Amino acid sequence: DSGVTQTPKHLITATGQRVTLRCSPRSGDLSVYWYQQSLDQGLQFLIQYYNGEERAKGNILERFSAQQFPDLHSELNLSSLELGDSALYFCASRGSGDEQFFGPGTRLTVL
């Protein structure tokens, strides 16, 4: 158990809809990273927050947004969903070192 929690585990929705994925980092970790893993793809970095502020942005679509709240949990919002958005979404938290601790992921299926 990494100490990072993600909800929900699975999400099935239709094209055009909007969903919110939630992540709680390890106790004390200020950094949260979001990644997308599509079929046969590696982990694509989406965005990182540190103590409530956006710190780095990767290949995140404009239809996607994220935020980190004062209690350090983070939410990833995906809107106007397309079939190609079906993927595993991981969040990871990071403390003072370079190692990231990953949650179990949310599997999103867009029908």
Partner 1 sequence: DQQVKQNSPSLSVQEGRISILNCDYTNSMFDYFLWYKKYPAEGPTFLISISSIKDKNEDGRFTVFLNKSAKHLSLHIVPSQPGDSAVYFCAAKEFGMGNQFYFGTGTSLTVIP
- Contacts with partner 1 by CB under 8 A lie at 2, 4, 31, 33, 35, 40-45, 48, 50, 55-56, 58, 90, 92, 98-105
CA gap 21, 92 in Å, rounded: 13
Residues near 98 by beta carbon (within 8 Å), at least 6 away in sequence: none
Q: Which is nearer to partner 1, 18 or 57 (CB)?
A: 57
Parallel/antiparallel/unpaired status of strands 106-110 and 10-13? parallel
Number of other CB atoms surrounding residue 27 within 10 Å:
9
| Least separation in angstroms between CB 108 and partner 1 | 15
Q: Which is nearer to partner 1, 62 or 99 (CB)?
A: 99
| Least separation in angstroms between CB 107 and partner 1 | 9
